[in-house]
Amino acid sequence: MFQLVEFYVNVINYCVFKFLNRLSKTIDKLNPIMYFDRIPRIKRNFEKHNTSLTEIVNKTWLDENTGFNIMYSTAAVTFILYLIISCIFLFIYDFFRLESFFTWEIVAIISVIPAYLIYHFAIDKNQKYILYFRKFDKKTKEIKRGYAIFSFLIILFSILMFILSFQFI
């Protein structure tokens, strides 16, 4: 059961990471700092160090191990897990009328623990996400598109479920 959860959490992580990479590349085209690489003196200075401004920016944002996009994608997946788990707890909280036992704030705080544990064991432990990224990169374009649609629907569903769960508070 956990392997299935691990697989789908990594699918969402992969799709969010690829989306952030595409967004970063698009923003780089509009980023005025990237035009400094066209100034000859700056370009020579980078060439003297066997690098370029584009390489530095790409390493900073797009790297699978230490880039900002992998940090943002894992944070987004953890937040989505938090939304789903807190919504489930809030629905249970309202269905069983647990107002006398817990406040909804405690339920929201308690849901952080399972979200973090799922993130840690499914994505972060031994950098499992890199193994999944390698496996997903080998998939066909149609399968990747299906993963992207699935991820988008899960993200949309979790946000809608979170909004609807407030009617039970």
User: Model confidence over 40-78: pLDDT tens digits?
Assistant: 998 899 899 998 888 888 888 888 888 899 999 999 999
Identify the weakest region by mean pLDDT among 72-81, 97-106, 153-162. 97-106
Which pLDDT score is estimated for 163?
87
Average pLDDT for 145-156: 96
Q: What's the whole-number average pLDDT of the chain?
A: 89
Q: What b/e readout covers 58-97, taking b as 16+ CB neighbours within 10 angstroms?
A: beebbeeeebebbebbbebbbebbbbbbbbebbeebbeee
108 pLDDT tier (thresholds 50, 70, 90): confident
pLDDT of residue 154: 95
**CA 125, 4, 12, 169 torsion: positive or negative?**
negative
Q: How far is CA 32 from its chain centroid?
A: 27
pLDDT, residue 168, reads: 59
Q: What is the pLDDT of residue 169?
A: 58
d(CA 96, CA 78) in angstroms, rounded, equals 27
Check pLDDT > 90 for residue 33: no
pLDDT band at residue 162 under the 50/70/90 scheme: confident
pLDDT, one tens digit per residue, over 7-23 is 999 999 999 999 999 99
Residue 104 pLDDT greater than 80, yes or no: no
Q: At a CB cut-off of 8 Å and minimum separation 6, what does 117 contact?
A: none
Shortest CA distance to 11 belongs to which of 140, 120, 161, 135?
A: 135
pTM: 0.86
Q: What is the mean pLDDT of residues 124-131?
A: 91
Residue 84's pLDDT is 92
